[in-house]
Structure 1
Amino acid sequence: MADQGKGPVAASIEKKLIEGLTPISLNVIDESHHHAGHGHAGDKRHGNESHFRVEVVSAAFEGKSRVERHRIVNGLLAQEIAEGVHALAIGAKTPGEG
């Protein structure tokens, strides 16, 4: 799960999801480079970290709908979203689905 090469926003996302969901697996992918040159890319507060894909498998999602799972992840990452993360793609599964 931990990757020393992550930028500060990716590291913060990873830390909050680990603390909030105790995932069996977690992959935080910075996809910002795909959006270079777009008006929202490179927000001053986040440098070049603006677009992420999160793939998380956690028992915390048991019995939850897809929308509820996304709300949980968005709630945990509310600060990052408020501070300029422009896009967050979420793949949230239970251990049985993972």
Structure 2
Amino acid sequence: MPLSIDDLERAIRNACPVTHLEITDQSSGCGESYAIVLVSEAFEGLSTLKRHRMVNDLLKAEIAQMHAFSQKTFTPAQYQAYLAKET
């Protein structure tokens, strides 16, 4: 059974504190490929690699149901800086 955006969002919000979350279904609605932008205080002091490993561990069951999963992870301060560069 394909994973829905709601299922993925619920799993993420249950796994860690979320300041901001964007989920994009990159598979035209079939639930096979998702990209996320996740902002959390839980990432403070962690390298990008450690953050990605943390998310992969927290979402192991959900990721196993997908063909592809990509993530961008930020601390709240990093996300504000990222947004400032975008404008």
TM-score under structure 1 normalisation? 0.72
SS across alignment from 2:35 = strand
The match for 1:9 is: 4
SS across alignment from 1:16 = helix
How many pairs are equivalent? Answer: 78
Say yes or no: does 1:92 pair with 2:73: yes
Task: Name structure 2 gaps, 5 residues minimum.
Answer: 80-87
Cα deviation 1:10-67 (Å, max 9, x = unaligned): 212111111222111001111102xxxxxxxxxxxxx811010010100000001111
More helix by share: 2
SS across alignment from 1:28 = strand
The match for 1:50 is: 32
Task: Name structure 1 gaps, 5 residues minimum.
Answer: 1-6, 34-46
User: Residue type matched to 1:71 in 2?
Assistant: R
Cα deviation 1:66-90 (Å, max 9, x = unaligned): 111111111121112223x011110
Is the contact made by 1:52 and 1:89 (CA closer than 8 Å) also made in structure 2? yes
Is the contact made by 1:9 and 1:80 (CA closer than 8 Å) also made in structure 2? no
Counting only pairs closer than 5 Å after superposition, residues 13-52 of structure 1 correspond to structure 2 as 13-33=8-28, 48-52=30-34
Q: State the shift of 1:9 in Å.
A: 2.6
SS across alignment from 2:4 = helix
User: Residue type matched to 1:21 in 2?
Assistant: C
Runs of 4+ in 1 over 2 A off after TM superposition: none
The Cα RMSD (Å) is 1.7
TM-score under structure 2 normalisation? 0.80
SS across alignment from 1:32 = coil
The match for 2:52 is: 70
Amino-acid identity (%)? 33
